[in-house]
């Protein structure tokens, strides 16, 4: 037990040092406002906001060049959080950018069809696809953000969208259904 | 020690409920025949899921470890009887989602043969650390509530010294009587467990709180504890939810556990009486947590009673041991009528935290709920001093930040507010909805933080590759340029040669002209 605790503590210190070092060594001078905005974006990196990723969109918002309602994967929740942060009124999602997905999705690769061209790997913004040239490829489901950027480049169309796996761990109690009377009292 | 002298306090709110405890306490605790199959969910308790260490086809002995703890808030799982592992896969479990979950399935061989047990006659030959280790390895979790691993709550911590151990024998929810029966029949073992816990915590005293509607249990425990001056048995007034940890602490000590913190912060640790019994079995007899007592009750159960069953026994087997239901279609509830939840399959197995299976007339009054009339009845009933109508309002509006400001996570889901609400609003479901939404949002946040890191890492990598490519390009260019220099030199040499040649030629011409 004690050795376990000590070795864990040792590891914790070691990792702390590595992280600390990395933080200093690789520090990018970053704008705290951009950081705060970026922290609210879903990091799907899909580009639907018309920017090449979440951070560029955050930068554009910080400069006042982009509106708060351009991120479909974030949906209402993200818009409300952005409005809160930037002190503006929430507004509905801009339909030009896309629709809010009801359900979170990931992609899978049909490994029987995959020809190992590596085009999807080059498209994936979070390195969620494993594989080498001329070998079949697999998606690491845990890491996939569901951005679908890997789908268009695939020459044999073997990448499919599937709902993210549901488990007891990420299950949510349903919201109680509201009765008519209850709703009537709302206005 | 006598309990009458003890001063008692009262928590705010609470309800006097009909008890319905009579019918399941008329007969002693009974065992049931070995079921045909035992189904053991890898998630038995709050915290990290255990990881299977056996495979299909393996033969196991009773008490043999079949799944290992993962992470700190986690304990292992043991085979409840000897037999063969016939499957590891997804099966229906007792969970409000109706989802299946990963389970180890054992087919008993009928021998019920124990693996080797490490018995100990005097626990004081062990150090408190060794006791915690045994309790952890025995897979013991809180048997009364959400099932927090018990060994964690046997650690007094560095500075926050624990003075008082409280054993919770209140059992305040209607219908449930398994702790009552355990106290009546196994009082000695509970007290033996309490002594081990006191020693492990290095605590000064132990208070055992039992609601005064259980006179048999009180006298049994009092008899068993009479020799120990540091153990006090206290009869507490019957009032729902006295069995809530913070409520019982208030009643027994007058102390309030601060919002969002654990009783340890005020020098108190609270365990269930059944957990004390399990600690006795683990430390003295060397038996891990493989069985428990379950109350089967409700007006639809033909013969309500308490059963001692192996973990993993399907609900059906328990119902059959009680002569079945008067109406086969009655939905089953795990837990009591106030805090329990509907179980969607009668094939779901008993887990370590399952204290009661209830089959009763559905009295839910939520169907036709009406607008909130701001009567504040809910706030009067809330034993945690919350403002249930505000929580409801913010949960319904999905304003989860505000709900948290109003201490959503202090809500113990006791259902008092729900019970008294004249508008029949399903308040607790709103709170459960909000809590799980917030948890999943937090999980999503962690996921997106990982995605951000991976994206940034990829961009660094792409940049590096770009730099490296540029570097290579430059080198090539330089090499080319160098070869270009050579040409220039040659050109220069050539030019020089040309000039010399031209000069010579012109000299030649001059000479020719002179001659
Ligand atoms: S649309 Fe949203 S998730 Fe997609 S890149 Fe833009 S900010 Fe990120
Ligand atoms: S695997 Fe495809 S969908 Fe998933 S993150 Fe990568 S590019 Fe996006
Ligand atoms: S008891 Fe019901 S109606 Fe009354 S204030 Fe509370 S939520 Fe509203
Ligand atoms: S369910 Fe929560 S809000 Fe309602 S009375 Fe119990 S503790 Fe208070």
Could B371 and A182 be called an inter-chain contact, meaning their C-beta atoms sit closer than 8 Å? yes
Rounded average pLDDT over B278-298: 96
Question: Does residue B72 carry a pLDDT above 90?
Answer: no
Condensed to tens digits (0 to 9), the pLDDT of residues B157-211 reads 776 689 999 999 999 999 999 999 999 999 999 999 999 999 999 999 999 999 9
Q: Is the pLDDT of residue B259 over 50?
A: yes
pLDDT at A20 over 60: no
Residue B254 pLDDT more than 50? yes
Any residues with CB less than 8 A from the CB of A62 and at least 6 apart, and which? A31, A33, A34, A37
The pair of structure tokens assigned to B375 is 């009567």
Tell me what pLDDT residue A185 has. Answer: 45
pLDDT of A186 > 90? The answer is no
pLDDT digits (tens, 9 = 90+) for A42-76: 999 999 999 999 999 999 999 989 999 999 999 88
- What is the pLDDT of chain B when averaged over all its residues? 90
Rg of the Cα atoms in chain B: 35
- Collapsed DSSP state (helix, strand, coil) of residue B240: strand
pLDDT score of B48: 85
| Confidence at B515, pLDDT banded by 50, 70, 90 | very low
Give B420 Cα–ligand 4 centroid separation in angstroms: 11
How do residues A74-92 score in pLDDT, each as one tens digit? 988 899 899 989 999 999 9
| Angle, vertex CA B176, rays to CA B171 and CA B179, nearest 5 | 55
Q: ipTM score of the complex?
A: 0.78
Is B449 in contact with A43 (Cβ distance < 8 A)? yes
Does position B75 have pLDDT exceeding 90, yes or no?
Answer: yes
Residues A133-172, buried b or exposed e (16+ Cβ, 10 A)?
eeebbebeeebbbbbbbbeeebeeebbeeeeeeeebebbb
Whether residue A38 has its Cβ less than 6 Å from ligand 1: no
DSSP collapsed to 3 states, B115-170: CCCCCCCCHHHCCHHHHHHHHHHCCCECCCCCCCEHHHHHCCCCCCCCCEEEEEEC
| B190 and B182 Cβ atoms separated by less than 8 Å | yes
Determine what percent of chain A is predicted with pLDDT higher than 70.
Answer: 80
How is residue A53 annotated by DSSP? Answer: S
pLDDT of the residue at B483: 64
Q: pLDDT at position B157, please? A: 75
Ligand 1 pocket check for A42: Cβ under 6 Å: yes
Residue B67 confidence (pLDDT) above 60: yes
pLDDT at B388: 96
The region of weakest confidence among A85-99, B83-97, B468-482 is B468-482
pLDDT band at B485 (very low <50, low <70, confident <90, very high): low
| Any atom of ligand 1 within 6 Å of the Cβ of A71 | yes
Interface residues from chain B to A (CB-CB < 8 Å): 43, 93, 95-97, 99, 101, 129, 133, 366, 368-371, 396, 425-426, 429-430, 432-433, 435-437, 440-441, 443-444, 448-452, 454-455, 457-458, 460
Q: How many percent of chain B have pLDDT more than 70?
A: 93
- Kindly give, in sequence order, each residue whose CB lies less than 8 Å from that of residue A130, ignoring residues fewer than 6 positions away: A137, A138, A139, A140
> What is the per-residue pLDDT across A120-153, written as a single tens digit (0 to 9) for each?
999 999 999 988 777 778 888 888 999 999 999 9
Residues forming a β-bridge with A163: A105
């Amino acid at each position: 037990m004690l050795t376990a605790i000590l070795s864990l503590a040792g590891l914790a210190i070691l990792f702390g040092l590595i992280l600390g070092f990395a933080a200093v060594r690789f520090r990018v001078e970053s704008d705290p406002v951009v950081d705060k905005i970026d922290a609210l974006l879903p990091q799907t990196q899909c580009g639907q906001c018309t920017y090449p990723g979440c951070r560029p969109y955050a930068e554009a918002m910080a400069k006042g060049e982009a509106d708060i309602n351009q991120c479909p994967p974030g949906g209402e929740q993200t818009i409300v959080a952005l409005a809160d942060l930037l002190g503006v009124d929430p507004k509905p999602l801009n339909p030009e950018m896309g629709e809010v997905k009801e359900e979170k999705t990931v992609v899978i690769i049909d490994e029987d069809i995959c020809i190992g061209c590596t085009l999807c790997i080059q498209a994936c913004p979070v390195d969620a696809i494993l594989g080498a040239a001329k070998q079949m490829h697999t998606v690491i489901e845990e890491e996939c953000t569901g951005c679908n950027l890997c789908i268009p480049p695939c020459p044999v169309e073997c990448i499919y969208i599937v709902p993210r796996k549901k488990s007891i761990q990420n299950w949510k109690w349903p919201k109680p259904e509201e009765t008519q009377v209850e709703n009537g009292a709302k206005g | 020690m006598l309990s009458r002298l003890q001063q008692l306090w009262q928590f705010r709110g609470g309800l006097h409920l009909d008890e319905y405890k009579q019918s399941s306490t008329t007969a002693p605790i009974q065992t049931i025949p070995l079921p045909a199959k035992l189904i053991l969910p890898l998630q038995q308790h709050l915290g990290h899921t255990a990881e299977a260490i056996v495979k299909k086809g393996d033969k196991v002995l009773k008490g043999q470890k079949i799944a290992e703890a993962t992470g700190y808030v986690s304990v292992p799982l043991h085979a409840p009887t000897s037999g063969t592992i016939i499957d590891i896969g997804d099966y229906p479990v007792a969970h409000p989602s109706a989802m299946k979950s990963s389970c180890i399935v054992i087919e008993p061989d009928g021998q019920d043969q124990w693996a080797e047990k490490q018995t100990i006659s005097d626990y004081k030959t062990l150090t408190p650390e060794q006791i915690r280790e045994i309790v952890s390895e025995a897979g013991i979790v809180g048997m009364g509530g959400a099932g927090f691993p018990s060994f964690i709550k046997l650690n007094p911590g560095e500075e926050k010294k624990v003075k008082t151990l409280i054993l919770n024998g209140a059992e305040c929810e209607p219908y449930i009587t398994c702790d009552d029966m355990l106290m009546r029949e196994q009082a000695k073992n509970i007290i033996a467990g309490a002594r081990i816990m006191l020693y492990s915590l290095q605590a000064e005293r132990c208070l055992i709180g039992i609601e005064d509607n259980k006179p048999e249990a009180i006298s049994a425990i009092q008899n068993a504890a009479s020799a120990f001056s540091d153990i006090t048995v206290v009869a507490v007034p019957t009032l729902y939810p006295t069995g809530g940890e913070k409520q019982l602490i208030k009643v027994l000590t007058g102390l309030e556990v601060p919002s969002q913190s654990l009783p340890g912060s005020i020098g108190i640790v609270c365990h269930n009486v059944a957990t004390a019994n399990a600690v006795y079995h683990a430390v003295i007899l060397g038996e891990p947590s493989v069985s428990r007592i379950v109350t089967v009750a409700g007006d639809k159960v033909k013969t309500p009673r308490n059963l001692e069953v192996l973990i993993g026994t399907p609900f059906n087997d328990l119902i059959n041991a009680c002569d079945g239901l008067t109406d086969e279609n009655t939905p089953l509830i795990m837990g009591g009528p106030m805090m329990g939840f509907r179980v969607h399959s009668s094939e779901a197995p008993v887990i370590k935290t399952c204290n009661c299976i209830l089959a009763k007339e559905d009295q839910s009054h939520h169907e036709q709920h009406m607008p909130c009339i701001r009567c504040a009845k809910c706030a009067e009933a809330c034993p945690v001093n919350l403002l249930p109508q505000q929580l409801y309002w913010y949960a319904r509006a999905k304003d989860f930040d505000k709900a948290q400001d109003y201490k959503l996570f202090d809500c113990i889901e006791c259902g008092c507010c729900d019970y008294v609400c004249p508008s029949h609003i399903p308040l607790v479901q709103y709170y459960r909805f909000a809590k799980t939404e917030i948890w999943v949002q937090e999980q999503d946040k962690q996921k997106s933080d990982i995605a951000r890191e991976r994206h940034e890492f990829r961009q660094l990598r792409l940049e590096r590759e770009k730099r490296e490519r540029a570097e290579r390009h430059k080198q090539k260019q330089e090499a080319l340029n160098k070869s270009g220099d050579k040409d220039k030199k040659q050109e220069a040499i050539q030019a020089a040669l040309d000039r010399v040649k031209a000069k010579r030629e012109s000299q030649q011409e001059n000479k020719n002209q002179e001659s």
